[in-house]
Amino acid sequence: LQYEKDGIMARLDTSTIPEVFKGATIDKSELAGFKSIKDVVRLGRVTSITSDEIKLEKGTVPLPAPPADTLFVDCMADMDGTFYGFRVAEDFKIFDGDQINMGPLIVSYNVCCSAAIIAYIESTFADDSEMRNNLLYFGTGENHTKPDFKMFFSQFYYQNKTFNALGAYPPAMQFVLNSRTFLDAPCHHYLGLPGFIWAMVGPSQMAKKANKFVERVESGDFPDCQDCFGVAGRKLPEPKDLKVKEKSKVKSNYPPQKKLKPKSKFGLNCCASVDIVNAVEKSGDPTNMNGAVKSNA
State pLDDT tens for residues 220-276: 998 888 899 999 989 999 999 999 988 755 566 666 666 555 554 444 445 445 555
Using 50, 70 and 90 to split pLDDT, how confident is the model at 95?
Answer: very high
Q: What is the pLDDT of residue 22?
A: 74
User: Rounded to whole angstroms, how far apart are CA atoms 197 and 46?
Assistant: 49
Rounded to a whole number, what is the distance in angstroms from the first to the last CA of the chain?
Answer: 4
Q: Cα–Cα distance between 3 and 1 in angstroms, integer?
A: 6
The predicted model scores a pTM of 0.72
Query: Which amino acid would we find at residue 204?
Result: S
Q: What are the φ/ψ torsions at residue 8 (nearest 5 degrees)?
A: -90, -40
* pLDDT tens-digit map of 212-231: 999 999 999 988 888 999 99
Higher pLDDT, 253 or 163: 163
* Per-residue pLDDT tens over the stretch 101-136: 998 889 988 889 999 999 999 999 999 999 999 999
Rounded to whole angstroms, how far apart are CA atoms 195 and 189? Answer: 7
What CA–CA distance (Å, rounded) separates 117 from 288? 32
